[in-house]
Structure 1
Amino acid sequence: MEIMTVTLTQEAPQSLWGKADVTYQGNQAFIHLSGTDELRQVQAAARKIRSQGVSKVQLDGALWSIDSQWAFSQGFTTAKGEFEVLWCGDSEIQTTLTHRFEAASFARMLVNETPEELSPVILANHAAKWLKAIGGDNVSYDIVEGQELLEAQWIGLHAVGRGSERPPAMLVLDFNPLGDDAEVSTALVGKGITFDSGGYSIKPSEGMLDMKCDMGGAATVTAALGLAMKAGLNKRVKLFLCCAENLISGHAYKLGDILTYKNGVTVEVVNTDAEGRLVLADGLQAASDTGAELIIDAATLTGAAVMAVGTNYNAIFSPQMETLQLAQQQAASVAENVWPLPLDAWHKDMCPSPYADTANSRAMKGGGAGGASNAAGFLWRFVRPDVNWLHMDLAGAYASSANSLWSAGATAHGVLTIAAILNK
């Protein structure tokens, strides 16, 4: 396979074809930096180079930073076809980029997999085995599935997943390099809906097509933990993946059902397509039980977050300003984009029910105004009051179609942010 060398330059392009920001000389490509939003420019240039049929590149030259190399790899990555990016810089930079690429590739592999191949139990097993391969004896885990979920009082996960012939499952994983008595530093929770039909609140066909991506939260927190471990994480972290298929059958949960959670909160189901928050409620309770100082959950949770921040940001929520600031600082340190949306105590009450403590949404399209914040308010009911909590609504984790920055499919946007927080 022939290798194309790619170099950054600040020289203006000498092109007969107008304002080209990528020019070629034989097997060498030059990206002509404009001086504004250079990372975005580099990522878009990588898309152009890949679209020319180039599948292997060597980055070369003094202008490449770790952030620009990563931006290039993001644009160069596609869901199919073999490709390779060879890094430049010292051994530490190359090792960091290699670890990032391995973690992001694992997340993309999971998200891009077909829903037929990736059942809830298979997702839990893939995540556990990958982390076990990285962490060795420091990693232990258990997978609770099917009727066992009811015995453990994980009511939401069982309800959402019972409509499928393939059982729902919760992965409970412990990374502990410090010994049995170590306190849990952080607990991670991921939404792992391997396919979302919407249930009886069924999605239209075009809205259902990409719903293999609805386990993006589980993929993101798993890849982030793996990346942090590769970077030498020396804290105890617990991981909870809430995995289910949201399908229609005679066993499926229905509108009007009332779920009574382990913490006593009752929830009326007014929209079976607002299932992510129902499974995360179990995961957040399990995370709270660990005594962790910080809980981070990640989920492809609401279309409202996409409408609010677009697809190049992930929306973040927290009751604590310092937790939002931590997330923003660590995202900036790895050149990822997050943006805080409102979360006040009254958001807990924005999905009222005459029959239960709360409904799981509002009975209107998209959950009504402020849908992303209302969903976060719902989740807040299941978080221990004294804990620092970060909720990440992954608006930027998946591209439904190719654009100037991303090929179609998983982006892994968010993995670096959470890994950076873990290693803080």
Structure 2
Amino acid sequence: MTALTLSTAGAATLRADALVVGVAKAAGPKGGLVVAPGAEAVDKAFSGKLAAVLETLGARGAEGEVTKAVSPSGLKAPFVLAVGLGTAPAADEAYDAEVLRTAAGNAARALHGIKKAAFALPIEAAEDIEAIGEGALLGAYAFTAYQSADKTAPDAKGPLAEVTLLGAKPRDKAHKAAVERSLAVAEEMNRARDLINTPPNDLTPEAFAAVVSAAGKEHGLKVQVLDEKALEKGGFGGILGVGVGSENPPRLVKITYTHAKNAKHLALVGKGITYDSGGISLKPAGHNETMKCDMSGAAAVFAAVVAAARLGLEVNVTGWLALAENMPSGSATRPGDVLRMYSGKTVEVLNTDAEGRLVLADALWKASEEKPDAIVDVATLTGAMVLALGDHTFGIMANDDAFRTAIHEIAEESGEQSWPMPLPANLRKTMDSPTADLANMGVRMGGGLVAGLFLKEFVGEGITWAHLDIAGPAYNEGAPHGYTPKGGTGSSVRTLVRLAERTASGDLG
């Protein structure tokens, strides 16, 4: 786990294995490279020629660019790592928080194997400390639990061990709070990443529930686990219908954070398919290999509740994790079967690979019984949303336009790409079934919206609700970039934590 500290020491005197500075492209037609604020002492050690040295080494200041330079005698760190910040802002403007977050992530990834690095990046306010801290901690992430301890391997030294932020004030309350928040959010995001990356033979519904229970004891949270017998007794036909084909039975986990000073109640519901084969409607070859990530929504909800507790937010947050393994077998649900859901509605299953909405439906209705002020569900729900928005953006649907807009703004503020999506009423009739109250499938075109309309059927009357389809950004199959690793990303955790903070402050009504 990477440590994060603040220091008032100068860049020239601090002992570290590397110094991180920011460089940018000068605005205007002439361009050129400029050293970003925060690195003045480093530039002075280079006799004011740091930009010229880095330009000689090929640096241009572009976002994502990383350039290494050997330190002169005036610095105790052996080398300087310059990260590109894009075009420099105007003199009366500050660097965008997401630019700083991404640059810090690029630096942390480039410093794999380094013990201690000092970051001398631009800090104008506490929000910059938070962004840089988050980026560094997230960028330093590595999942090595299943790799042999080979001392000859290039990654044997492990990720960056300690990050020191220069230019911040350790005794300043706002600065200390920024560090605490970045630690809580980033560490819980990394916990979610670990769960997403864990192989499905080890992360069964039962094992996932055990992880939640352990975290509950650690952070003083109430955890309730409904096993297959309790689910059957309670009539949770959706969760049972999905999990019945697996030897690893399903679970519904409730994790509760309660703050005595606030009556506002936010309910979060996460899709937790620990492995999705598609069931009897088996996925084609090439679509199974990453299906351990189909529990990313549950991981995000779990992480957000724990982060809210660590931050002591004045809001009550309940997380519902609908956990099941979707497998084909002689006992599995068949296309054409009818399930009686926890709400009492019946659903004709036309495709067993549209299973996420079935487990979410039961959890949404269960969450609705507590009459929370709002419910937000998170799920890697549809390939259609990936086709619509790509790999980096999640879709937002809601039964309240103002709430949908608020979540979109919160996501953008948190550095997560999102986009508001509609719930067209005309698509609802495509889920009509001659046999049951509704089917779990409608028209193929607009399938992500159809899935949202299905979920809406299971939200209690009068409850504000939103649905986040994170199918695109939840799992990165490409190369690492910024603070995003290959594999599980922890998508939507930051949005959910910020939503809890906004609810606590009363900004959402």
- TM-score, with structure 1 as normaliser: 0.90
**Aligned counterparts of 1:147 and 1:184: Cα–Cα separation in 2:** 32
Relative to structure 1, the CA distance from residue 121 to residue 335 in structure 2 (aligned partners, 3 Å threshold; closer, same or farther) is: same
Shift of 1:347: 3.7
Give secondary structure in 1 for the equivalent of 2:55. Answer: coil
Shift of 1:246: 0.3
For residue 111 of structure 1, what is the aligned residue in structure 2? 196
Indicate if the aligned counterparts of 2:270 and 2:360 stay in contact, CA closer than 8 A. yes
**Aligned counterparts of 2:334 and 2:114: Cα–Cα separation in 1:** 48
Deviations 1:160-195 (CA, angstroms, capped at 9, x unpaired)? 00111111010123322329xx85611111111000
Relative to structure 1, the CA distance from residue 336 to residue 379 in structure 2 (aligned partners, 3 Å threshold; closer, same or farther) is: same
Shift of 1:23: 1.9
Name which of 352, 356, 371 aligns with 1:272: 352
Indicate if the aligned counterparts of 1:104 and 1:415 stay in contact, CA closer than 8 A. yes
Give the gaps of 5 or more residues in structure 2: 3-15, 25-33, 35-50, 71-78, 89-94, 145-154, 169-174, 503-509
Deviates more, 1:331-340 or 1:239-248: 331-340
**Superposition pairs for residues 254-293 of structure 1, below 5 Å?**
254-293=334-373
**Aligned counterparts of 1:46 and 1:384: Cα–Cα separation in 2:** 41
For residue 160 of structure 1, what is the aligned residue in structure 2? 242
Instruction: Give me the identity figure in percent.
Output: 32
Q: Could you list the runs of 4 or more consecutive aligned residues of structure 1 that deviate by over 6 angstroms after TM superposition?
A: none
Indicate if the aligned counterparts of 1:142 and 1:171 stay in contact, CA closer than 8 A. yes
- Structure whose CA Rg is larger: 2
Deviates more, 1:229-238 or 1:18-27: 18-27
**Superposition pairs for residues 346-365 of structure 1, below 5 Å?**
346-362=426-442
Name which of 295, 309, 332 aligns with 1:252: 332
**Aligned counterparts of 2:108 and 2:60: Cα–Cα separation in 1:** 16
**Aligned counterparts of 1:309 and 1:75: Cα–Cα separation in 2:** 24
**Aligned counterparts of 2:426 and 2:213: Cα–Cα separation in 1:** 37
For residue 92 of structure 1, what is the aligned residue in structure 2? 177
For residue 393 of structure 1, what is the aligned residue in structure 2? 469
Give the gaps of 5 or more residues in structure 1: none
**Aligned counterparts of 1:40 and 1:207: Cα–Cα separation in 2:** 33
Relative to structure 1, the CA distance from residue 322 to residue 188 in structure 2 (aligned partners, 3 Å threshold; closer, same or farther) is: same
Name which of 34, 55, 63 aligns with 1:14: 55
Deviations 1:135-167 (CA, angstroms, capped at 9, x unpaired)? x1xx22221111321110111001100111111
Name which of 436, 439, 448 aligns with 1:372: 448
For residue 499 of structure 2, what is the aligned residue in structure 1? 421
**Aligned counterparts of 1:209 and 1:326: Cα–Cα separation in 2:** 35
Shift of 1:77: 3.0
Paired amino acid for 1:128? S
Paired amino acid for 1:28? V
Higher RCO (C-alpha under 8 Å, 6+ residues apart)? 1
Give secondary structure in 1 for the equivalent of 2:407. Answer: helix
Paired amino acid for 2:67? T
For residue 30 of structure 1, what is the aligned residue in structure 2? 82
For residue 289 of structure 2, what is the aligned residue in structure 1? 209
Shift of 1:19: 4.2
Give secondary structure in 1 for the equivalent of 2:56. Answer: coil
Indicate if the aligned counterparts of 1:296 and 1:391 stay in contact, CA closer than 8 A. yes
**Aligned counterparts of 1:79 and 1:420: Cα–Cα separation in 2:** 26
Shift of 1:15: 2.6
Indicate if the aligned counterparts of 1:196 and 1:247 stay in contact, CA closer than 8 A. yes
Indicate if the aligned counterparts of 1:79 and 1:408 stay in contact, CA closer than 8 A. no
Shift of 1:351: 2.2
Give secondary structure in 2 for the equivalent of 1:205. Answer: coil
Relative to structure 1, the CA distance from residue 40 to residue 338 in structure 2 (aligned partners, 3 Å threshold; closer, same or farther) is: same
For residue 143 of structure 2, what is the aligned residue in structure 1? 79
Paired amino acid for 1:79? F
For residue 150 of structure 2, what is the aligned residue in structure 1? none
**Aligned counterparts of 2:329 and 2:349: Cα–Cα separation in 1:** 17
Matched, 1:402 2:454: no
Indicate if the aligned counterparts of 1:348 and 1:381 stay in contact, CA closer than 8 A. no
Indicate if the aligned counterparts of 1:5 and 1:57 stay in contact, CA closer than 8 A. no
Indicate if the aligned counterparts of 2:241 and 2:333 stay in contact, CA closer than 8 A. yes
- TM-score, with structure 2 as normaliser: 0.76
Give secondary structure in 2 for the equivalent of 1:164. Answer: coil
**Aligned counterparts of 2:196 and 2:436: Cα–Cα separation in 1:** 35
RMSD: 2.5
Indicate if the aligned counterparts of 1:198 and 1:247 stay in contact, CA closer than 8 A. yes
Indicate if the aligned counterparts of 2:20 and 2:121 stay in contact, CA closer than 8 A. no
Deviations 1:76-127 (CA, angstroms, capped at 9, x unpaired)? 4333363135141333322221112211111011111010111101112212
For residue 256 of structure 2, what is the aligned residue in structure 1? 174
For residue 117 of structure 2, what is the aligned residue in structure 1? 58
For residue 205 of structure 2, what is the aligned residue in structure 1? 120
**Aligned counterparts of 2:491 and 2:288: Cα–Cα separation in 1:** 22
Relative to structure 1, the CA distance from residue 388 to residue 59 in structure 2 (aligned partners, 3 Å threshold; closer, same or farther) is: farther
**Aligned counterparts of 1:212 and 1:312: Cα–Cα separation in 2:** 19
**Aligned counterparts of 1:59 and 1:343: Cα–Cα separation in 2:** 48
**Aligned counterparts of 1:294 and 1:375: Cα–Cα separation in 2:** 19
* Number of residue equivalences: 415
For residue 102 of structure 2, what is the aligned residue in structure 1? 43
Relative to structure 1, the CA distance from residue 350 to residue 4 in structure 2 (aligned partners, 3 Å threshold; closer, same or farther) is: farther
Indicate if the aligned counterparts of 2:357 and 2:451 stay in contact, CA closer than 8 A. yes
For residue 323 of structure 1, what is the aligned residue in structure 2? 403
